[in-house]
Structure formats: C-alpha cells, structure tokens
C-alpha cells in the first residue's frame, strides 16, 4: 500500500512537471524576403527584397533545463520584386520610365525547431534552428508602371492549379532572441534567417529558385 501511494504521488508530480513544460502564445513580426536562383537568372533578372507580415501561434515544449522544441502555425506573406527601367530623352528632357512587378505569396507555415536557452529569469537569450514547412494558400502579382509617378495596374492572381509552381516549400531556419519572464509567461523578441530547400517552380531547365529571407518578431507565451 505504501509503495502504491508513493507511486501515485510520483506519477502526479511527474504529470505536473510535464504540464508546466508546455507554453503557448502569439507571435507577430515582419518578414523581409527575396528569391535566390542560379547565376544566369540572377544576372539577367535582378530580384529585389519585399516586406511582408507574419502572425501566428507559438508553442513550446521543454525537454530539459535549457533545451526545448518550438513549433506552431503562422501566416506569412513572402515574395520578391522585379524592377526594370530605361531613360527616354524627349525634347532635351531625360524622363525615366520603369516597370515593376511585385510577387507576393501567402503561406501557412509550421516550424519545428530546437531551442537552447541561457541566462537567468531576469533576462535570457536563446538560439533556435530547425525546419519550416510552408503551404502556399494564394498569391498575386502586382504590376506597377512608373512615369514620373507610380501607376498601379490591375493585380494578377497566381495560378497554383498547374504543375509549374510548387505549393509546398521546405526551408532551413536559424535564429536568436531574447526573452524575459513575466508572471506565468514570457515576452520575447527574435531575429531569424530562412533559406528554402525546395524549388519554387518545376521547369525543364533548373532555375534553382528558392525562397530566402529574414524575420523580425516579438511575442508572448504563457506556461501551463
């Protein structure tokens, strides 16, 4: 009977410890993204960085004193921009004419990362690294003509129904951040870099187009 009570107390204690290892909350941030390709396409069509929104749910499970697993689900707007232009000389006046196309894709992302934390309760710093899987829910191309001022042309929806574009994307993610305990939770701020491992397009000639980008985010998680 004594052994049974001891086992029951130990089981309840272990469950309470396990429950306290879980935390969940919200993260919001800015994604600064672009697309990398093989040397030929990058020299022929220079691609510029785009800025988008990130917002989602962050979940963390503690494995040990300093090691934990970070996951969740978030919305992320990624893309790149192509800008081409020329100068026309009309009646002695130099008039720049440019055309820009902003490619934006709305992703639903699920990261799975390991997190290592150092420091004390007042201020902790951490490193994260792992894999992020993304699904392209929708996308658009925004053409912009510029003759002295910007003229937005009608937006074009990206067609994901054919086999030319890949909806699924897998990327390697690495980052670092700071966090501080507040009551039963933590506030945090972090920066991360993500580099795609999957090609964005299926073509006969391998263009090696992959997503890449930086992420700046802040958030709050509550421990249970």
Distance, in Å, from the CA atom of 124 to the CA atom of 177, rounded to the nearest integer, reads 8
CA dihedral of residues 47, 49, 50, 52 (deg, nearest 10): 140
Whether 10 is in a domain gets the answer: no
Q: What pTM was estimated for this model as a whole?
A: 0.78
Whether 198 is in a domain gets the answer: yes
What tokens were used for 163?
A: 């086999």
Whether 6 is in a domain gets the answer: no
Whether 147 is in a domain gets the answer: yes
The tally of domains found in the chain comes to 1
Whether 4 is in a domain gets the answer: no
Whether 13 is in a domain gets the answer: no
Give the pLDDT confidence of 68-117 residue by residue, as tens digits: 999 999 999 988 888 766 554 544 555 556 777 888 999 999 999 999 99
Give the pLDDT confidence of 119-174 residue by residue, as tens digits: 987 899 999 999 999 999 999 988 887 766 677 778 888 888 877 788 999 999 99
Query: For residue 118, what pLDDT is reported?
Result: 95
- Sole residue written with tokens 């204690």: 13
* Other beta carbons less than 10 A from residue 126's beta carbon: 19
Supply the mean pLDDT for the chain: 82
Whether 110 is in a domain gets the answer: yes
């Amino acid at each position: 009977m004594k052994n049974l009570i001891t086992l029951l107390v130990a089981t309840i204690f272990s469950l309470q410890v396990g429950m306290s290892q879980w935390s969940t909350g919200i993260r919001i941030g800015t994604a600064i993204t672009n697309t990398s390709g093989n040397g030929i396409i990058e020299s022929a069509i220079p691609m510029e960085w785009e800025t988008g929104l990130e917002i989602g749910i962050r979940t963390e499970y503690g494995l040990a004193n300093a090691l934990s697993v970070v996951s969740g689900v978030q919305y992320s707007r990624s893309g790149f921009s192509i800008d081409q232009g020329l100068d026309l000389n009309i009646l002695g006046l130099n008039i720049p004419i440019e055309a820009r196309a902003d490619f934006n894709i709305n992703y639903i992302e699920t990261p799975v990362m390991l997190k290592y934390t150092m420091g004390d309760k007042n201020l902790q710093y951490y490193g994260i690294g792992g894999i992020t899987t993304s699904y392209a829910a929708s996308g658009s191309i925004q053409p912009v003509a510029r003759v002295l001022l910007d003229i937005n042309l009608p937006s074009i929806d990206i067609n994901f129904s054919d086999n030319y574009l890949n909806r699924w994307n897998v990327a390697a993610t690495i980052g670092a951040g700071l966090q501080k305990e507040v009551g039963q939770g933590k506030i945090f701020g972090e920066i991360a870099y993500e580099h795609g491992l999957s090609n964005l397009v299926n073509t006969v000639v391998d263009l090696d187009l992959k997503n890449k980008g930086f992420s700046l985010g802040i958030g709050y998680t509550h421990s249970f």
